[in-house]
Amino acid sequence: MKKVILAFIYIASLSIVGAQDNDRTVWRTWYMTPKDGKVKQLQKGLADHVAKFHGQG
């Protein structure tokens, strides 16, 4: 029984160490600069995107 418990602790510790290797992006920042004369088009496009994909909230 003692060997089973020690084996379980060993395997659990290896899985915890392995789980910490992945780097995840928490957020991204995008900078957009509209071309000359396209400011209104960019604003409308962004507003449409937010309404369609992000909704109320």
CA distance 40 to 34: 9
Say what the pLDDT of residue 20 is: 62
For the four alpha carbons of 45, 47, 48 and 53, in that order, the dihedral sign comes to: positive
Q: What pLDDT does 34 receive?
A: 94
Of residues 26 and 6, more confidence is placed in 6
Q: Rounded distance, CA 49 to CA 38, Å?
A: 16
Query: Which pLDDT value is given to residue 26?
Result: 77
Are 15 and 25 within 8 A, CB to CB? no
pTM of the model: 0.48
User: What are the tens digits of pLDDT across the range 10-53?
Assistant: 888 877 766 665 677 778 898 999 999 999 999 999 999 999 99
- The ranges assigned to domains in the chain are 29-57
42 contacts 33 by C-beta, under 8 angstroms: no
**Looking at residue 11, what is its pLDDT?**
86
